[in-house]
């Protein structure tokens, strides 16, 4: 029974993080005008550098929100006593650093492991988004 609960919780978190990440990436693209044709994007190299820096910082913030959601889940199930512990564990799992958490409940360890897979996929998605936009901005002949 505990396995089914862990898998259901992990699936719920995976769907939630996918929706949050999709909304975040679309929001970043719209906020910075990356969804417009290249001729409408910023044209100078300084402008391109600024846009790429903004994209990187906003993607970082998006990942921190997702880590925070996992940490909130861990606090809600009583896996950790403080927000700092939950955020540390979540960041470690999400980034696939995988530092063991002393005292983490065995009955929830599968969710912690699956967080690593979810984080890996979302970081990969962000990388693809960033590289695609970087190439698009740098290849726009008017951007130099």
What φ, ψ does residue 73 adopt, rounded to 5°? -60, -45
Task: At 126, list the tokens.
Answer: 């962000």
Give whichever of 40-44, 76-80, 107-111 has the largest mean pLDDT.
Answer: 76-80
For residues 52-69, give the mean pLDDT: 96
> DSSP string spanning 51-117?
HHHHHHHHHHHHHHHHHHHHHHHHHHTTS-SSHHHHHHHHHHHHTT--PPPTT--GGGHHHHHHHHH
Alpha carbons 90 and 95: distance in angstroms, whole number: 8
34 or 72, which is more confident: 72
- Whole domain around residue 83: which residue ranges? 2-143
Report pTM.
0.85
Per-residue pLDDT, 38: 57
140 or 142, which is more confident: 140
Per-residue pLDDT, 50: 86
SS3 36: coil
pLDDT value at 139 more than 90: no
For residues 97-106, give the mean pLDDT: 78
Domains contained in the chain, number = 1
pLDDT value at 144 more than 50: no
Per-residue pLDDT, 95: 94
Per-residue pLDDT, 41: 47
For residues 73-83, give the mean pLDDT: 96
Q: How confident is the model at residue 141 (pLDDT cuts 50, 70, 90)?
A: very low
For residues 41-65, give the mean pLDDT: 83
Element (H, E) at 9: helix 2-31
Q: How many helices (H) and strands (E) does the chain have?
A: 4, 0
């Amino acid at each position: 029974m505990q396995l089914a609960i862990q898998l259901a919780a992990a699936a719920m978190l995976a769907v939630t993080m996918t929706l949050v990440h999709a909304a975040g990436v679309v929001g970043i693209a719209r906020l910075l005008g990356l969804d417009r044709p290249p001729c409408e994007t910023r044209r100078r190299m300084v402008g391109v550098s600024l846009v790429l820096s903004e994209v990187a910082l906003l993607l970082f913030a998006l990942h921190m929100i997702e880590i925070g959601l996992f940490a909130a889940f861990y606090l809600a199930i009583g896996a950790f006593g403080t927000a700092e512990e939950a955020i540390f564990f979540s960041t470690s799992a999400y980034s696939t650093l995988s530092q063991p958490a002393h005292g983490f409940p065995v009955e929830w360890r599968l969710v912690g492991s699956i967080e690593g897979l979810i984080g890996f996929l979302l970081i990969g998605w962000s990388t693809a988004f960033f590289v695609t936009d970087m190439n698009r901005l740098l290849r726009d002949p008017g951007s130099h």
